[in-house]
Structure 1
Amino acid sequence: MGYEIVIATLGRLIDVLENRYLVLGRCTYVVLDEADRMIDMGFEPDVQKILEYIPVTNQKPDTDEAEDPEKMKINFEMGKHKYRQTVMFSATMPAAVERLARNYLRRPAVVYIGSAGKPHERVEQRVLLMGEGEKRKRQLEVLARGFEPPIIIFVNQKKGVDVLAKSLAKMGYNACMFHGGKGQEQREFALSNLKAGAKDILVATDVAGRGIDIHDVSMVLNYDMAKNIEDYIHRIGRTGRAGKSGVALTFLTKEDSSVFYDLKQAFLESPVSTCPPELSNHPDAQHKPGTILTKKRREETIFA
């Protein structure tokens, strides 16, 4: 009977396109959700391949006609051959995503909700610098401050999620786990429990950092700092949603020094956050990694 909407992962969509189970000849609306994540994971060629299956005959004209609202409205409401709308949703816009947008979008309108690539203005950011062995103790101190559930705790590795969630359960906390090693049903069950109030804490990897909306998350705790600032921005965006305010607390160790500079900038760009001296004055927070040559390297560059 045909379908009006197809929601797909990249690999499976390419599979059905190549086997001609699906034809996109009449497709008029394309959404690329979390485009930056797809690019980060190396799926840019797959995205391009899928877009090439969509006909170019219904592309919006690259002329001033595209800026005429009346003509665009007529085409949308009455035209047999509607112009294709290609939409990209992303909280961050790295260079690769901008390149993709330039290649496949014609005269795009850019809509900002908040500031792209920057922390939300209602999220108060905090950091604590410590040794790796101090994290467990400091976490209990933070949870004892009485943040209202639900709370999300981010850990970088799946094994770390399991260990931390089980440890919290033994201490009497109502925690559940969420990571890529869990099946889809298990992840949905964990989310539904958190949303319903059956669980108070979600311990998760970056899988929970995007595309998940849980109402009234009071705090995001980065037990492990994200490996890059883009993932950090997505993580802390799980709180302070829909007009609410929230707190994002991050545990930092010397192993996270490569992101100190970017993290400092995120604090400075936030109207509700104050960068602590231990971060703002830290030597690794003064310059972006790779931008400053050592004296010896400068000399080698000059004499080369």
Structure 2
Amino acid sequence: MSFKDLQFSAPILKAISEQGYDSPTLVQEQTIPFVLDKNDVITIAQTGTGKTAAFSLPILQLLLSKQDAPKRGKTIKALIVSPTRELALQIGNNIKAYGRHTNLRTTVIFGGAPIEPQIDVLTKGVDILVATPGRLIDLQKQEVINLDHLEILVLDEADLMLDMGFIDDVKTIEKLCPAEKQVLLFSATMPFKVEQLANNILKSPKRIEVSPTATAAKTVSQLLYYVPKRNKIELCLHLLRNEIKGSILIFRRTKFGVDKLEKTLLKNGYLVDTLHGDKSQNDRQTALKKFKNGLVNILIATDVAARGIDINELDAVINFDLPNIPETYVHRIGRTGRAGNTGRAYSFCSADEKNYVKTIQQLINKEITIEENHPYPLDPKAKPIAHKAKSSGSKHKKGRKGSGSKKKKRRWY
């Protein structure tokens, strides 16, 4: 199938061709016709399958008939809600590229950036708005944003919105839109709460599931290292010195963990940068640019910061901390071994993470190869360290006075 078969008009076909695409991906082929027929749609597919174009292209096509409105008279006809700044910017750039030969105007708004320029653009009028939930609600409260004329609402990376605590914000945003609208929901996984959200706000949706989330890429070789928690950093250094080369993405569970590992790797002479939620938008974009341009070859990130970022040709992924959600494992390792290339995934498992391995293996329906030949093996009998709560009682024996009360003090009574 080619994009011409999907009945896009000439200006959109021209832009698609200029972007270097001639045939749609599987997710685009299955989703686009339903969107063009104005159905509500749920699409479940991993990052990197072409989801952004699967909603951007048909939205541009559906709005093209209204593109003659003067720029000042424009009202928001399509709203794409995205969980992170990086994703919102990426979506905005794609829509601008695909819509460059139309008169449709797109803008992106997100927190952590000056609000005035965003207000200026919105006041002049836009057709398509890409927004993160917090900034969208802020500007709606200030009456800068009016969603009364909205025709299409897109919820992108819905499972990540859930992880980041945005589900209530999404419900609020949906209520600000007209009752009659087309709703498109895109997600890499479908947890129960996202399923509930979909049931509440979509009407008879068409459901598309491309490459089930439980399938780990066949082009990725997976290795599992059982290692005591205290030795994970030494194992990481050992592998970087002896085995893992090229561009490497390392996942840690917390921002504190990301910063701690970065300090150690920098001390050991590695070219490293980091991505996590506490970094400013500029710092995050700079880190990404340095990694893509090869100025650093190791990027350490939390799942939230790394979701949706566009990195191709990764040589390896290291799961420094195993994720407690098995789908996240599939999502992480799917960043390497793309487009026919081979990739490697290395996972470190301490005693308290053994249960995560079980659930991951159940999901992918495969046993991960255990690498026993390394300098920091975990004792097979090792159990998670139980942290005893400190006694909150007095340090003095019962009936004994503390030194303070022994002193002769003048009492106020």
> Under TM normalisation by the shorter chain, which class is it?
0.7 to 0.9
* Alpha-carbon distance in 2 for matches of 1:17, 1:93: 29
What do residues 215-264 of structure 1 show as CA deviations (whole Å, max 9, x unaligned)?
Answer: 10111101111232233233223223334332221100112134232122
1:8 to partner: Cα distance: 1.4
Cα 1:277–1:204, aligned 2, differ >3 Å: closer, same or farther? closer
User: Are the equivalent residues in 1 in contact too, given 2:216–2:333 (CA < 8 A)?
Assistant: yes
Q: Answer yes or no: is 1:138 the counterpart of 2:274.
A: no
* Bigger Rg over Cα: 2
For residue 181 of structure 1, the aligned residue among 275, 278, 281 is: 278
* Alpha-carbon distance in 1 for matches of 2:129, 2:260: 38
Q: Answer yes or no: is 1:104 the counterpart of 2:104.
A: no
Q: Answer yes or no: is 1:217 the counterpart of 2:314.
A: yes
Q: Answer yes or no: is 1:172 the counterpart of 2:269.
A: yes
Give the structure 2 partner of residue 88 of structure 1: 185
Secondary structure of residue in 2 paired with 1:124: strand
Give the structure 1 partner of residue 248 of structure 2: 151
* Alpha-carbon distance in 1 for matches of 2:249, 2:292: 12
Q: Answer yes or no: is 1:127 the counterpart of 2:250.
A: no
1:196 to partner: Cα distance: 0.5
Secondary structure of residue in 2 paired with 1:125: strand
The alignment's C-alpha RMSD in Å is: 2.5
Cα 1:242–1:30, aligned 2, differ >3 Å: closer, same or farther? farther
Letter of the 1:105 counterpart: L
Cα 1:45–1:133, aligned 2, differ >3 Å: closer, same or farther? closer
Percentage identity across aligned positions?
Answer: 39
Larger mean Cα displacement after TM superposition, 214-223 or 240-249: 240-249
User: Are the equivalent residues in 2 in contact too, given 1:213–1:238 (CA < 8 A)?
Assistant: no
User: Are the equivalent residues in 1 in contact too, given 2:214–2:363 (CA < 8 A)?
Assistant: no
Cα 1:131–1:274, aligned 2, differ >3 Å: closer, same or farther? closer
- Runs of 4+ with >6 A deviation: none
Q: Answer yes or no: is 1:32 the counterpart of 2:155.
A: yes
* Alpha-carbon distance in 2 for matches of 1:28, 1:275: 50
Give the structure 2 partner of residue 42 of structure 1: 165
Give the alignment's TM-score, normalised by structure 2.
0.56
For residue 55 of structure 1, the aligned residue among 169, 178, 187 is: 178
Letter of the 1:21 counterpart: V
* Alpha-carbon distance in 2 for matches of 1:229, 1:139: 22
* Alpha-carbon distance in 2 for matches of 1:11, 1:187: 19
What do residues 34-68 of structure 1 show as CA deviations (whole Å, max 9, x unaligned)?
Answer: 111212333222111111121123x4xxxxxxxxx
Cα 1:40–1:274, aligned 2, differ >3 Å: closer, same or farther? closer
What do residues 190-210 of structure 1 show as CA deviations (whole Å, max 9, x unaligned)?
Answer: 100000011100012223331
1:118 to partner: Cα distance: 4.1
Task: Return 5+ residue gaps in structure 2 as ranges.
Answer: 1-123, 373-379, 382-413
Give the alignment's TM-score, normalised by structure 1.
0.75
Letter of the 2:151 counterpart: T
Q: Answer yes or no: is 1:253 the counterpart of 2:350.
A: yes
* Alpha-carbon distance in 2 for matches of 1:134, 1:19: 52
1:93 to partner: Cα distance: 0.6
Letter of the 2:128 counterpart: I
Give the structure 1 partner of residue 142 of structure 2: 19
Give the structure 2 partner of residue 241 of structure 1: 338
For residue 263 of structure 1, the aligned residue among 357, 360, 363 is: 360
Correspondence list, 1:188-207, <5 A = 188-207=285-304
* Alpha-carbon distance in 1 for matches of 2:371, 2:227: 14
Secondary structure of residue in 1 paired with 2:131: coil
Matched residues, number: 252
Give the structure 2 partner of residue 75 of structure 1: none
1:277 to partner: Cα distance: 9.9
* Alpha-carbon distance in 2 for matches of 1:102, 1:93: 12
* Alpha-carbon distance in 1 for matches of 2:187, 2:242: 33
